[in-house]
Structure 1
Amino acid sequence: MNHLKTNFLLISVDALKPEFITDPQKFGVILPNISEFFINNGVFASKGVKSVFPSFTYTCHQTIITGTYPDTHGIYNNIMFDPDGSHKGAWHWFVSDNVPTLWKLAKEHGYCSASVAFPTSVGAQGDYIVPEFWWDGSPLDTKFIDAVSVPQGLASEMEKEIGRFPGGLDLTVDGDRRRKEAAVWLLRNKIKTHDNVRPFFMSTYFASFDETAHINGVYSPEALRALEQIDQMVGDLINTAYEISERDLVICMVSDHGSLDNHHCIRPNVKLKEAGLISVDEQNHMISWRAWSQRAGGTCEIRLKDSKDFESRDKLSLLMDQLRTEGDNGILEVLTGDQARLNRKGFSEADYVLVAQKGYEIRDDICGDYMTNELIQKAQHGYSEEFDEMRASFCMMGPRIPKGMDLGSCNLVDVAPTLAALMGIPIPTAQGENLCERFPTEDLQMNKK
């Protein structure tokens, strides 16, 4: 492949499960654009993509864009570990400092590097970056997004033509529609101006299927309709990418994880409070903590406040032993921090990690019953990456990419090294496989040219 004559578009559809791509009729969902572009004319993974630990949005997206596991890139959760609220609910909006991203590498190797609303992209090195970020969901979000965009002022320039850019708290179909309009605007008004000089690498993100599934259930009519509308947006985006350039175009569509329906919530912090590791006042507001559980959907990490507090460490160890042995508590696995880091490549700063059974979402509440069937969300992810239900999606089409080829299964860490290989970019830090090596010999040889 002549790398510098090819454009690359990376599309992430949050929580898109592989069965929706390969067998949409089974679920009564119609996805004409995804079917035509990727199933008929590209490669896909019918058995899905093994996600990372935990299978949570921000952790996964940093893996997608770096090709590394969480213990390497350092983002272990959506929200920062912050029992005291010192960070005011801040998320891991920021790109990893530990490893290079595809945005940075693409720019360094002659591509126009761009992104719209991709999680973990604040601080990314590129030519045009409008990251996912927010403050409070109000119009104030725009000023913050504009301040952290590359170049600074890009978001406000865009909004003069397309209206308000949705912050990361707007996860509706309408929010996705405006994310799509932002990506289209960027292609037509910025990236196109570079077309006769250099190709582009651009990433985009759609959130509404995941959010609608959280609210209504994975296979609910509402979630399926959201997915159908995303399919239309994907079609519009791809057609615009073709429209603005006469170069070849490779399109890769991925998701970060799957999802499954919940039937219970469990609250490990209730157990920690009962063990004397969390103290509350008369209104049940936390006064102090010596150990804290922070959720990541179907998992949680537990950290000691003071690693030299041996009394608390002993109490916590005893509680973890109890959770391992008692029945009917919704816990599938109790991992030590070393087990989580060495065996699962996640939660490197945890003392313990709890992995829930299917359908038992973990919450951060301190008070109330440990287990309840009163759900906060009808569907969730963040469960064990070994669950089939947590499998993500991968498909790709473009010149010299086989048509209708089923890759079977692959890993989320494979996305970045595969794209890097097609782009002719070295990415030595990546920990995944170049999936092009699975292509038939004639396609593989052409991609090496």
Structure 2
Amino acid sequence: MLHRFIKLICFLLGLVLFQSAFSQDRPGHVVVISIDGFRPEFYLDSSMPTPNLQEMYKQGVAAKEVTGIFPTVTYPSHTTLITGATPKDHGIYYNTKIEEDGSAGGWVYDFKEIKSKTLWQAAKEKGLVTASVSWPVSVNAEYIDYNIPEFWSFENPMDRRGATSEKAHPKGLFEEVVKNATGTLEINDYNLSSMSMDQNLARIAGYLLREYKPNLLTIHLPLTDGAQHRQGRKGNLVRKAIAGADTAVGIIRDALDKAGIGNETVIIVTGDHGFVDVHTQIAPNVILRQHGLHQQSEGRPKAFFFSAGGSAFLHLEDGNDRKTLERIKQIFAGLPLEVRSTFEIIEEDKISERGGDPRAKLALGAKRGYSFSNDADGDLMTYKRGGKHGFYPNFHDIATGFVGYGKGMQEGEIIESMYLEDVGKIVASLLQIELNQGTTFYHSTIKK
């Protein structure tokens, strides 16, 4: 079969194998930039404040949409980006752990939680140099040579500086980048409250590129997520955050040129999920409680829904309790139309299709305008306006994007659609390293 993506992109019955036909066109360096809440409109819509992304889109390879995993939330999605696997294989099912009572526990941050091989490991096995800045689930990642992980203080979550310094590798790296890249950081210079966060992360990445010239650098820019949670898909704050992320991309591009490796580098800009405008929040555990299935006593409820925003996953105390499962299906199928019309029931086979939690017995997928909470008391529905993700990835608004720009990338190629797990496989092919996920990429026709 014929392969092309760096110089050539070909396809056979919709299954695309990505591999350069020309070894001289392989990059020596790959930079993966994840923009949280990255939507294809950021580069496809010429009215967006994104001159860097639009230039890269026009001069490189881009996708009209990238279908996410289920649920479409940050930490599982970023683990898919770095492994080429879906959550059912890599083991990061949600942003947080689930407590015994069904509530959200601490965030999943430790690299040891990942069950699949990562790009960092594959790169190190080939003797390549790796670096990462603010990537989710990268704390204690032994395969990252220069690591500034995404982490914060449990006592004061707004203050990320000391906790990041403690977990940075090698020791002293955080102090090194502050001295040489950002200058003194006040508390709000390095958290999600300030537009300066993305730029400071980009400056840190730029310093690592200039000083250590890693073959693989991954960086997560988080601020566009918070803006869209507050305002939805549109709004002045959202445009400011998008412009800020684009500026961060420009800082990294500039650093590559200053490092003398710009012509030997491919930059991949992608994301974890899109966003959906919402107005109402649903509490499905209220229904379970009304039927005696979600007791408020200590310990694990007989059944509970765990919210991922645009979806909620059903967990049973006894995973083999088919009687309770069927009863819950009947309860939710028989709800009044004004409630039943706000969500769809997602069966186990559909959960598995996009790699969702294999422990979940079914899920609820919110219709546009709605989202879920973990609440088990109070009103079934409450007014809550803003933006959400976590939806089942079967419509455009929740899709993320992809832009590939740099050495050997074919100018003006458009991918109609691809999957989130394709990104890790593409990076592996660019660097000629081996993941455990194979090399088959799924997407539709390429337009020239």
- Shorter-chain TM-score bucket reads 0.7 to 0.9
The structure 2 residue matched to 1:242, chosen from 238, 243, 257, is 257
- Corresponding letter in the other structure for 2:308: A
Does residue 158 in structure 1 map to residue 167 in structure 2? no
What does residue 296 of structure 1 align with?
A: 308
- Tell me by how many angstroms 1:136 deviates: 4.1
1:80-91 aligned within 5 A: 80-84=97-101, 89-91=105-107
The 1-side partners of 2:240 and 2:265 are apart by 28
- Corresponding letter in the other structure for 1:71: K
Secondary structure of the residue aligned to 1:321 is helix
Q: Deviations over 1:188-222 (max 9, x none)?
A: 34x14xxxxxx521011111111101011211121
- Tell me by how many angstroms 1:432 deviates: 4.9
Secondary structure of the residue aligned to 2:105 is coil
- Tell me by how many angstroms 1:67 deviates: 0.6
The 1-side partners of 2:193 and 2:374 are apart by 22
Measured at CA, do residues 430 and 395 of structure 1 come closer, stay the same or move farther in structure 2, by a change above 3 Å? same
The 1-side partners of 2:52 and 2:437 are apart by 34
- Tell me by how many angstroms 1:127 deviates: 0.5
Q: Which stretch has the larger CA shift, 325-334 or 57-66?
A: 325-334
- Corresponding letter in the other structure for 1:148: K
The answer on whether the counterparts of 1:59 and 1:78 sit within 8 Å (CA) in structure 2 is yes
What does residue 269 of structure 2 align with?
A: 253
Does residue 61 in structure 1 map to residue 78 in structure 2? yes
Give the fraction of aligned pairs with identical amino acids, expressed as a percent.
29
Does residue 396 in structure 1 map to residue 404 in structure 2? yes
The answer on whether the counterparts of 2:102 and 2:304 sit within 8 Å (CA) in structure 1 is no
Secondary structure of the residue aligned to 1:80 is strand
The 2-side partners of 1:206 and 1:227 are apart by 10
The 1-side partners of 2:140 and 2:87 are apart by 18
The answer on whether the counterparts of 1:71 and 1:341 sit within 8 Å (CA) in structure 2 is no
Q: Which stretch has the larger CA shift, 94-103 or 49-58?
A: 94-103
- Corresponding letter in the other structure for 1:52: I
1:170-249 aligned within 5 A: 170=192, 172-189=194-211, 191-192=212-213, 200-246=215-261, 248-249=264-265
The structure 2 residue matched to 1:76, chosen from 81, 93, 104, is 93
Q: Deviations over 1:358-406 (max 9, x none)?
A: 121111112111112x21x500111110011111100101122101111
The answer on whether the counterparts of 1:137 and 1:167 sit within 8 Å (CA) in structure 2 is no
- Tell me by how many angstroms 1:166 deviates: 7.6
Measured at CA, do residues 171 and 239 of structure 1 come closer, stay the same or move farther in structure 2, by a change above 3 Å? same
Gaps of 5+ in 2: 1-22
Gaps of 5+ in 1: 193-198, 441-449
The 1-side partners of 2:24 and 2:436 are apart by 21
What TM-score do you get using the length of structure 2 for normalisation?
Answer: 0.85
The answer on whether the counterparts of 2:233 and 2:275 sit within 8 Å (CA) in structure 1 is yes
The 2-side partners of 1:267 and 1:352 are apart by 16
The structure 1 residue matched to 2:436, chosen from 407, 428, 431, is 428
What does residue 42 of structure 2 align with?
A: 20
Counting matched residue pairs gives 417
Measured at CA, do residues 237 and 292 of structure 1 come closer, stay the same or move farther in structure 2, by a change above 3 Å? same
Does residue 42 in structure 1 map to residue 55 in structure 2? no
- Tell me by how many angstroms 1:150 deviates: 2.1
- Corresponding letter in the other structure for 1:32: P
Q: Deviations over 1:257-315 (max 9, x none)?
A: 1111002100011112112222337xxxx77622222111111112122446x5xx634
Measured at CA, do residues 148 and 299 of structure 1 come closer, stay the same or move farther in structure 2, by a change above 3 Å? same
The answer on whether the counterparts of 2:282 and 2:380 sit within 8 Å (CA) in structure 1 is yes
The structure 2 residue matched to 1:133, chosen from 142, 147, 151, is 151
What does residue 391 of structure 2 align with?
A: 383
Q: Deviations over 1:150-208 (max 9, x none)?
A: 2233223333453348899626422222212221232234x14xxxxxx5210111111
Measured at CA, do residues 414 and 299 of structure 1 come closer, stay the same or move farther in structure 2, by a change above 3 Å? same
Measured at CA, do residues 276 and 153 of structure 1 come closer, stay the same or move farther in structure 2, by a change above 3 Å? farther
What does residue 143 of structure 1 align with?
A: 162
Measured at CA, do residues 432 and 224 of structure 1 come closer, stay the same or move farther in structure 2, by a change above 3 Å? farther
Aligned-pair Cα RMSD in Å: 2.8
The answer on whether the counterparts of 2:58 and 2:411 sit within 8 Å (CA) in structure 1 is yes
- Corresponding letter in the other structure for 1:158: V
What TM-score do you get using the length of structure 1 for normalisation?
Answer: 0.85
The answer on whether the counterparts of 2:75 and 2:136 sit within 8 Å (CA) in structure 1 is yes
Measured at CA, do residues 84 and 141 of structure 1 come closer, stay the same or move farther in structure 2, by a change above 3 Å? farther
Does residue 263 in structure 1 map to residue 283 in structure 2? no
Q: Which stretch has the larger CA shift, 381-390 or 178-187?
A: 178-187
The structure 1 residue matched to 2:138, chosen from 105, 116, 121, is 121
Q: Which stretch has the larger CA shift, 254-263 or 148-157?
A: 148-157
What does residue 124 of structure 2 align with?
A: 107
The 1-side partners of 2:332 and 2:102 are apart by 27
Q: Deviations over 1:29-50 (max 9, x none)?
A: 22111111x222101012x111
Secondary structure of the residue aligned to 1:433 is strand
What does residue 51 of structure 2 align with?
A: 32
- Corresponding letter in the other structure for 2:40: P
The 1-side partners of 2:416 and 2:131 are apart by 30
The structure 2 residue matched to 1:367, chosen from 351, 374, 377, is 377
- Tell me by how many angstroms 1:78 deviates: 0.7
The 2-side partners of 1:119 and 1:291 are apart by 29
The 2-side partners of 1:379 and 1:428 are apart by 35
Which segments of structure 1 move beyond 6 Å, counting only runs of 4 or more? 165-168, 437-440
What does residue 445 of structure 1 align with?
A: none
The 2-side partners of 1:104 and 1:409 are apart by 28
- Corresponding letter in the other structure for 2:374: D
Measured at CA, do residues 384 and 12 of structure 1 come closer, stay the same or move farther in structure 2, by a change above 3 Å? same
Secondary structure of the residue aligned to 1:188 is helix
The answer on whether the counterparts of 2:158 and 2:191 sit within 8 Å (CA) in structure 1 is no
Secondary structure of the residue aligned to 2:247 is helix
Secondary structure of the residue aligned to 1:12 is strand
The answer on whether the counterparts of 2:191 and 2:197 sit within 8 Å (CA) in structure 1 is no
